[in-house]
Amino acid sequence: DAGVIQSPRHEVTEMGQEVTLRCKPISGHNSLFWYRQTMMRGLELLIYFNNNVPIDDSGMPEDRFSAKMPNASFSTLKIQPSEPRDSAVYFCASSFSTKETQYFGPGTRLLVL
């Protein structure tokens, strides 16, 4: 299995631009998680999907952030407009179910100038 796939791996953009991060979970996993990692705040859960349905988006920092999962094999996290404080590594993770081990993708390193 290829594991969780994320793209792009690196993104550099200017403040105010729209950024879209993509994730393909492990086949057969029905739970998908988006995390953000920074030095200051550590690992934070942004949003969680179960069977393609957003269950909890309480970790999404503000309305500039949105996430979708149109099917079982694809999810996006969008930031519009982006700000320098959004600079972080964004991880996608998936699991067989909500109570199983989460497997993390390689992450997208985002830099907003």
Partner 1 sequence: ELKVEQNPLFLSMQEGKNYTIYCNYSTTSDRLYWYRQDPGKSLESLFVLLSNGAVKQEGRLMASLDTKARLSTLHITAAVHDLSATYFCAVDGSGTYKYIFGTGTRLKVLA
Tokens standing for residue 32: 């998908």
CA-to-CA distance for 91 and 107, rounded, in angstroms? Answer: 4
| Cβ nearer to partner 1, comparing 50 with 66 | 50
| Cβ nearer to partner 1, comparing 71 with 101 | 101
Among 75, 82, 94, 102, binds partner 1 (CB under 8 A): 102
Q: Which of residues 42-61 bind partner 1 (CB under 8 A)?
A: 42-43, 45, 48, 50, 55-56
**Phi and psi at residue 16, in whole multiples of 5°?**
95, -15
- For residue 81, the minimal CB distance to partner 1 (Å) is 27
Residues touching partner 1: how many (CB under 8 A)?
A: 20
Does the footprint of partner 1 cover residue 99 (CB under 8 A)?
A: yes
| Cβ nearer to partner 1, comparing 3 with 16 | 3
DSSP E strands, 1-113: 5-7, 10-13, 19-24, 31-38, 42-50, 53-56, 65-71, 74-79, 88-95, 103-104, 108-112
Residues that bind partner 1 (CB under 8 A): 31, 33, 42-43, 45, 48, 50, 55-56, 91, 93, 98-99, 101-107
